[in-house]
Amino acid sequence: MGSMNPSLRCIFGFLALLLSALLIQTINATVSYDHKALIINGKRRILISGSIHYPRSTPEMWPDLIQKAKDGGLDCIQTYVFWNGHEPSPGQYYFEDRYDLVRFVKLVKQAGLYVNLRIGPYACAEWKFGGFPVWLKYVPGISFRTDNAPFKAAMQKFTEKIVSMMKSEGLFEWQGGPIILSQIENEYGPMESVMGPGAKSYANWAAKMAVGLNTGVPWIMCKQDDAPDPVINTCNGFYCDYFSPNQKYKPTMWTEVWTGWFTAFGGAVPHRPVEDLAFAIARFIQKGGSFVNYYMYHGGTNFGRTAGGPFIATSYDYDAPIDEYGLLRQPKWGHLRDMHKAIKQAEPALISGDPTMQSLGNYEKAYVFKSKDGACAAFLSNYHQSSSARVIYNGLRYDLPAWSISILPDCKTAVFNTATVKEPTLWPKMTPVGKFSWTSYGENTNSLDDNSFTKDGLYEQLSQTWDKSDYLWYTTYVNIAQNENFLKTGVWPYLSVDSAGHALHVFVNGKYAGSGYGGYDSSKLEFWKSVNLWAGSNKISILSVAVGLANVGTHFENWNIGVLGPVVLSGLNEGKRDLSRQKWTYQIGLKGENLGLHTVSGSSSVEWGSAYAKQPLTWYKAYFNAPAGNDPLALDMSSMGKGQVWVNGQHIGRYWPAYKAYGDCSACSYGGTYNEKKCATNCGDSSQKWYHVPRSWVNPTGNLLVVLEEFGGDPSGIALVKRTT
């Protein structure tokens, strides 16, 4: 080679230095672990994380939610990846608006926080079909979450898609991004014993497949005691201080600290006292835990038809530190923030070694951490449910309330006690800011259009709708002879319908005959009611209604919804007549859905009339102006029965205030072991009364509000409200 031009030599030298610097940065910027903690860039970390699910809020809300999480002392944001939102049909991907995953992760990075990305792609999460797309159910030969080739192929393809996208955007920690943890599968361990011989081999395959994607960060599997190396098994639950990983060289991690519980239509609303929540976390940390994640830190809203089920409510508030509307829930947010400060003060000792335990009394203990360079932290605990205690530790006296732990970051000064709440309680206030002037459009209950089709017998609902709608019409005809006794006596025959659907409405010759619905803890709906028939041909139309698709269970892809029968008329001269095997005509969805009445253009395509309250299957339309300010908005739907609601074409969700909550709403004490039925509210009232309307979906003027009412509620009682604390 000839001599190199000095300018080129300078450029090549600069590039070599730059490449060397990048290589050094890549080598140093790593995430690993040992038995104590995750190690980020060579440093052990005690990490506080919180779940915020990007589709359960709007992109306009994300920066504020993330900042409030950071202000609350969080290091990390955790989210699932929602397969059915991202791949609504095979090979057709969607990553926009509320499903803009890359934007969400980049916003977390901008705030200086880490990300725990739970790719799954099975989520559960009280999300429709557990996060699986409905088309997956109809892949030939498929069986969910087991050693099944079609399922594994689809799962691997989507997991690779997400990992590739994160890499291409430079979002893993070794690339300078925020993602420090990936998760494959979700809570599969308890399923292995009931999923058959393919379960364990599937779990091992999932782990091996994930590790082979080379994300450069650790993989976790929650509730997976047999997670193979190097995957870390983690704990989910109300308490996890009992938990240890399956290898001594893995850290003790808690991926879901349940801050409350979800609300189901017909169920009481769960709340978890912050004293117990803080106590649970301190118990975990004092025994050597190094990663905790609040599930949820902001629960948000099951917009549209995304709620799982059946019967999961539209609100996914979860009694989280940041409420459904994005406001701080006090004292929960502030009390936990103060605990996080105390834990961070103790971090030098916590990451240095394992604790030693000292007994201070019958219910009282001290867990002490010491480092070689003199750092010391102590956790003084009182496990008695109702009695406080005074203990002596290192010659000093400490008063411990019942069911509490005091944190001493220097082994001397108690800077925080889990049961001593200093933050004031701020109750949310819902203030009406507007009523509506309604027009109505009646859904046609006595005609079929060109899209209807006829089959012999009864067919499962999802197989016909593919979840394009919550609604499926089942229509058949019954001939009644002139000599039927009931035509003379007026003692009408009874129609009985057995359904795996969640609700149904019956119409005879176009007239409403009654409704029925099941419950969150019931897999069957039974309708039994007398019906008016006439001599000759009678048209019986059953509108089957889905209220969320199953999100958990063994092979829930085989679970059914819809009218499966038998459908029987009794009280005839012949006794009973089984209608199940005769011809039935099917129609997917409602006429108003097909016309797009919830949109501006669709709502202009029909003639709207005066609003008549208490009519089943009626569409209502109104316009409104937004109130001044930035306070979160909601609709008070307490005067309505059941249905769906849209604002400017955006689907707010399903509403069902007519389904009153059942449960135990007796007095609540924070002391003692918590479960989801403890400290509940709303018994005898609506499970959900208010429905979140994001500010970003509202214009200053001329907003279109459309309501589909199934039962026959009174729209004059609907009010727009603003939420403040």
* Catalytic positions, written as ranges: 187, 256
Phi-psi map region of 657: left, alpha, beta (phi>0 left; psi -120 to 50 alpha): alpha
Which residues 6+ apart lie within 8 Å of 278 measured at CB? 335, 336, 339, 405, 418, 419
Cα(563)–Cα(499) distance, integer angstroms:
4
Q: How far is CA 607 from each of CA 601, 610, 710, rounded to the nearest angstrom?
A: 13, 10, 20
Q: Are 438 and 716 in contact (CB under 8 A)?
A: yes
Beta-strand ranges (E) seen in 72-207 are: 76-80, 114-120, 179-184
341-372 burial code (b ≥16 CB/10 A, e <16): ebbebbbbbbbbeebeeeebeebbbbbbbbee
E strand or H helix at 356: strand 356-359
104/215 Cα distance (integer angstroms): 19
**Are residues 98 and 59 in contact, defined by beta-carbon separation less than 8 angstroms?**
yes
**In this structure, is the dihedral angle defined by the CA atoms of residues 412, 416, 418 and 422, taken in order, positive or negative?**
positive
Burial track 217-232 (b if 16+ CB lie within 10 A, e otherwise): bbbbbbbbeebbeebb
Whose tokens are 């999300």? That residue is: 127
CA distance 369 to 366: 10
* Number of other CB atoms surrounding residue 703 within 10 Å: 17
Q: What is the DSSP string of 11-68?
A: HHHHHHHHHHHHHHHHHHS-EEE-SS-EEETTEEE-EEEEEE-GGGS-TTTHHHHHHH
Closest CA to 241 of 191, 187, 292, 190: 292
Helix, strand, or coil here: 212? coil
